[in-house]
Amino acid sequence: MINIHVIDTDGTARDISFEANKSSSLMEILTKERFDVAAICGGMAGCGTCHIAFESGGEGLDDIEDDEEFMLDSLPNIVTGSRLSCQLRLTKDLDGARIRILGDGV
């Protein structure tokens, strides 16, 4: 099992657990757990609404691909550790991470 600590947009926080699964994304888990993630484009790195930041952990995750990089570049609220959760596979590299949901800044 992978355990992470998630801080929602309203500041409330809780721990969630899930199985590693390379065909599923962190955005899908956050949506399923009913966090405030709109995920409008459905996972195409096209809208920025699943934007999160790693406050700790997440080392060893896949590098940022061009599509994700372009979208992050266009967001007004990116910080160190910013990623699009739709581009993150459910791998053990997430275990123990502390993430904050930021959305697209609107």
Partner 1 sequence: MIQTDICIIGAGPVGLFAVFECGLLKLKCHLIDALPQVGGQLTEIYPLKPIYDIPGYPSVLAGDLITNLMKQIEPFGPTFSLGERVESLEKREDGSFVVTSSEGTKIESKVVVIAGGLGSFEPRKPVLPRLEEFERKGVEYMVRNPELFRDKKVVIAGGGDSALDWTVYLAEVASELSIVHRRGDFRGAPDTGAKVEALAAQGKVRLVMNAQLSGLHGTQKLTGVEVTYDDKSTTTLEADYLIPLFGLSPKLGPIAEWGLNIDKRAVEVDTRDYSTNIPGVYAIGDINTYPGKLKLILCGFHESALMAHSAYKYINPGENVVLKYTTVTGIEGM
Residue 104 binding partner 1, by CB under 8 A? yes
- Within 44-103, the residues that bind partner 1 by CB under 8 A are 44, 46-49, 66, 69-70, 73-78
In the bound state with partner 1, the residue whose beta carbon lies nearer, of 49 and 97, is 49
Burial 42-81 (b: 16+ CB within 10 A, else e): ebebebbbbbbbbeebbeebeebeeebeebbeebeebeeb
Please give the Cα distance from 91 to 80 (Å, whole number): 21
Report how many residues bind partner 1 under the rule CB under 8 A: 21
Q: Tokens at residue 34, please? A: 């009913």
User: Among the candidate windows 3-11, 18-26, 35-43, 88-96, which touches partner 1 by CB under 8 A?
Assistant: 35-43
In the bound state with partner 1, the residue whose beta carbon lies nearer, of 60 and 76, is 76
Residue 12 binding partner 1, by CB under 8 A? no
Q: Tokens at residue 10, please? A: 């309203």
Can you give the binding site for partner 1, defined by CB under 8 A? 38, 40-42, 44, 46-49, 66, 69-70, 73-78, 104-106
